[in-house]
Chains A and B, each alone.
Chain A
Amino acid sequence: MCDQTFLAVVFGPCDKCSKEKPLRAVYIKSEQLSYCSLCVEMMATEGLHENETLASLKTEAESLKGKLEEERAKLHDVELHQVAERVEALGQFVMKTRRTLKGHGNKVLCMDWCKDKRRIVSSSQDGKVIVWDSFTTNKEHAVTMPCTWVMACAYAPSGCAIACGGLDNKCSVYPLTFDKNENMAAKKKSVAMHTNYLSACSFTNSDMQILTASGDGTCALWDVESGQLLQSFHGHGADVLCLDLAPSETGNTFVSGGCDKKAMVWDMRSGQCIQSFETHDSDINSVRYYPSGDAFASGSDDATCRLYDLRADREVAIYSKESIIFGASSVDFSLSGRLLFAGYNDYTINVWDVLKGSRVSILFGHENRVSTLRVSPDGTAFCSGSWDHTLRIWA
């Protein structure tokens, strides 16, 4: 996604032995400390039983992975599309661009709908974040960020604020004001601080908390008012590129996807990873929950989208075609979960029948990569954003 990330080595006093050495970050009870490599190894050996060595742990890990696959395979008695054989096939779809939102000066990287099903916030490589009225295509607010590549933006549930961030490694919240004399940037509040780029952000079910994902390999939950870190989520082996919160009825979990090809489901309260899935062959750019909360879809640079069922604990469908060779950047479900809309790097949007696994439509219109895609809150339309600087509303 981004061109380069740098590993900066810090030299300083170790938090444990106080000697001046090259330091590494360690996380103890979600607190970040800096230990020298000797203290890191010593801390690790403290918890070990007599016969445990690195080699025996590796063997144990391999056998556990094997057991996990075995347990999952035992319950794999049928494919989703086989179960769906008797479902009526979908007819022809007439979906067209109904609105085009022009105004960004560079690639559109992210967008989100307001709960009023009408307003949209979008962010761009040009550093601008714009709030649009999608019915009229008017721009209602615009703010210029201090950095370029604003990779993430989100609308607050109340509709009164937006959050955004990117190469500044932060997530900032801007209250939306209709007072023409007020400068939006003046009321900016810095909430999240990561040690690498912000790739995704989302408010939880209130304006008070924000969940973030970052190129530093972690996700984090923040209190908006105080900027305090409430919980951090460690487990991805590389940049985290996307996240999605479970529908509110299904409890406090969220799913994240990353450059380590893994999709991970987390318990928001404990910080624990509950389930993880590693079947993609490349970076996972987008994850989205199925509307019932029992499954989620992913879009990847390996040119496939996949469906993972959380109760069966496995991948249950792959949406792919030999003719599709470019990565899927963004996915979302229609209201009933029957359709999966996916934006690709070959400028198209493919519409998939989630149950039968077949493609039902291909939508042309964008003149560059589709980078972001979301269905409106009431399911009447969906919006796509592209590197061609525009956003399109489809219905």
Chain B
Amino acid sequence: VLTPRGMSSAGSLSSMQRLVEQLKLEAAVERIKVSRAAAELQQYCMQNACKDALLVGVPAGSNPFREPRSCALL
């Protein structure tokens, strides 16, 4: 069976062409400043913190994993 190992199998010229096209595409991506991106990541955390059980915990009894398992006596 043919097992291509990565991109080197298709010939160096064509793969170089593809790489150049890909890099042109990536260079043209629209970017925002890290300060703004970071602020928005932080804002998302803050807005959703109260719902995050692993972060803030939940009222006793409402986390099914924390309460003791019930035993069924047959």
Contact = CB atoms under 8 A, between A and B. Distances in A.
Interface string B16-43: 1101101111110101111111111110
A334 B58 CA distance: 14
Interface string A295-311: 10000000000000101
Given A41-B13, A45-B13, A57-B17, A335 B51 contact: yes
A41 B8 CA distance: 12
Interface in A19-74: 23-27, 34, 37, 40-41, 43-45, 47-48, 54, 57-58, 60-61, 64-65, 67-68, 71-72
A167 to B, nearest CB: 13
A195 B5 CA distance: 10
B7 interface: yes
A375 B54 contact: yes
Q: How large is the interface on B (under 10, 10 to 19, 20 to 34, 35 or more residues)?
A: 35 or more
Interface residues of A, number: 89
Contact of A54 (B13, B24, B40): B13
Contacts of B54: 95, 334-335, 339, 375, 379-382, 395
A165 interface: no
A378 B38 CA distance: 25
Given A64-B23, A98-B66, A379-B54, A5 B3 contact: yes
Nearest to B4: A25
Contact of B63 (A26, A216, A380): A380
Contacts, number: 230
B27 A71 contact: yes
A336 B33 contact: no
A136 B69 contact: yes
A295 B69 contact: no
Contact of B5 (A43, A217, A334, A378): A217
B3 A196 contact: yes
Interface string A246-285: 0000000000000010000000000011111000000000
Interface of B: 1-14, 16-17, 19-20, 22-27, 29, 31-42, 44-49, 51-55, 58, 63-66, 69
Given A64-B24, A83-B35, 6 more contacts: A80-B41, A118-B64, A135-B65, A290-B41, A311-B32, A313-B31
Interface of A: 5-8, 10, 23-27, 34, 37, 40-41, 43-45, 47-48, 54, 57-58, 60-61, 64-65, 67-68, 71-72, 75-80, 83-84, 87, 90, 95, 98-99, 118, 134-136, 195-196, 216-217, 234-238, 260, 272-276, 290-292, 294-295, 309, 311-314, 316, 334-339, 354-355, 375, 378-382, 393, 395
